[in-house]
Amino acid sequence: MRVLVLGGTTEARQLYTLLERHAARFDTTVSLAGVTRAPVLPALAVRIGGFGGADGLRDWLLAHRIDAVVDATHPFATQISGNAVRACAAAHVSLLRVERPGWAPTPDDRWTLVPDMQAAARALGAKPRRVLLTVGRKDLLPFAGAGAHDWLLRSVDHPDASLLPPGCRVLLARGPFAEAEEEVLLRRERIDVIVTKNSGGSATRAKLAAARRLGVAVIMVARPPVACAHTVADTLAAMAWLDGLYAHGAATLREV
């Protein structure tokens, strides 16, 4: 069975590991956007870069006779996920989305929930604060004019300097992060507010626990909606879905 995994997340990497073990049944291609300079690559066929919108993805699926697509992209990667819905419908290819559950606040958290990055920038207010930005390079623009804060951006790769808020320092780091090291960072930098997307998952959750312990405020950007008919929360459920399709395909072949 020919499978395309749209990747770029921890869940996608977990799925590759399972699919590597089941190469006899699943002929898998992994697709990455090409935004990370040194991505972790699987021992599977890999293609890197955009498809050219929903039409380009549809054509790619047809040309490579793909049977199933697993969209394991990030909850905030809405463009590629929307394209996958349209392309799979047009090419009559089965589509599954893997979407890890979002984070939820506890009574001890000091979260401000906001709908998008613009609202996050406004929520910082006018009074100068020491801000830890844990958002993507694409998300920086609203913060450029957001006030005279002391900015620290944590990022996997260095963003273009023109995107950074004035005076912003950059800390290059790739998760997962442990709670103790997050606490050291928040203390050392005397952070009083963290801005983050509600990415969910465990790789970057430790900052929330550290913030809770130290009484640091969090501005939490809500997830944008993604319309996909079939969604599961983790990799094992995605593998079960693929197994089901494979078994169905094998049964259909036997009937023929």
Ligand X SMILES: NC(=O)c1ccc[n+]([C@@H]2O[C@H](COP(=O)([O-])OP(=O)(O)OC[C@H]3O[C@@H](n4cnc5c(N)ncnc54)[C@H](OP(=O)(O)O)[C@@H]3O)[C@@H](O)[C@H]2O)c1
136 binds ligand X (CB under 6 A): yes
Residue 107 has a CB neighbour count (10 Å cut-off) of 5
Q: How far apart (Å, rounded) are the C-alpha atoms in residues 2 and 28?
A: 6
Among 33, 46, 222, 228, binds ligand X (CB under 6 A): 33
Phi, psi of 201 (to 5 degrees): 85, 175
What is the closest distance, in whole angstroms, from the C-beta atom of residue 252 to ligand X in the complex? Answer: 29
Mapped onto helix, strand or coil, the DSSP state of residue 118 is: helix
Q: Does 97 bind ligand X (CB under 6 A)?
A: no
For residue 200, state whether it binds ligand X (rule: CB under 6 A): no
Angle between helices 53-63 and 78-91 (to 10 degrees): 50
One residue of 10, 73, 94, 196 binding ligand X per CB under 6 A: 73
Percentages (nearest 5) of helix, strand, coil residues in the chain:
35, 20, 40
Angle at 153 between CA 165 and CA 38, to 5 degrees: 120
Position among 15, 77, 226, 239 found at the interface with ligand X (CB under 6 A):
77
Q: What are phi and psi of 184, to 5 degrees?
A: -60, -45
How many angstroms separate the Cα of 11 from the Cα of each of 14, 137, 153, 216, 251? 5, 21, 24, 29, 29
The answer to whether 45 and 31 have CB atoms below 8 angstroms apart is no
CB of 137 to ligand X, least distance (A): 9
52 in contact with ligand X (CB under 6 A) = yes
Q: Which of 17, 79, 106, 202 binds ligand X (CB under 6 A)?
A: 79
Residue from 6, 124, 195, 242 touching ligand X (CB under 6 A): that is: 6
Q: Is position 42 an interface residue for ligand X (rule: CB under 6 A)?
A: no
95 is a contact residue toward ligand X (CB under 6 A): no
Q: Does 51 bind ligand X (CB under 6 A)?
A: yes
Select 60 or 183, whichever has its Cβ closest to ligand X. Answer: 60
Q: Point out which span in 4-12, 116-124, 170-178, 240-248 binds ligand X (CB under 6 A).
A: 4-12
Specify the residue, 31 or 94, whose C-beta has the smaller distance to ligand X. Answer: 31
Residue from 1, 9, 94, 165 binding ligand X (CB under 6 A): 9
d(CA 170, CA 153): 5
Q: Which helix (H) or strand (E) holds 226?
A: none
Among the listed ranges 1-9, 19-27, 177-185, 221-229, the one in contact with ligand X (CB under 6 A) is 1-9
By C-beta, is 61 or 152 nearer to ligand X?
61
Pair 109, 44: CB distance under 8 Å: no
80 versus 186: smaller Cβ distance to ligand X: 80
Task: Identify which of 232, 207, 217 has the alpha carbon closest to the alpha carbon of residue 103.
Answer: 207
* Residue from 3, 4, 7, 216 in contact with ligand X (CB under 6 A): 7
Binding site for ligand X (CB under 6 A): 6-9, 31-33, 35, 50-53, 56-57, 73-74, 76-80, 83, 136, 138, 197
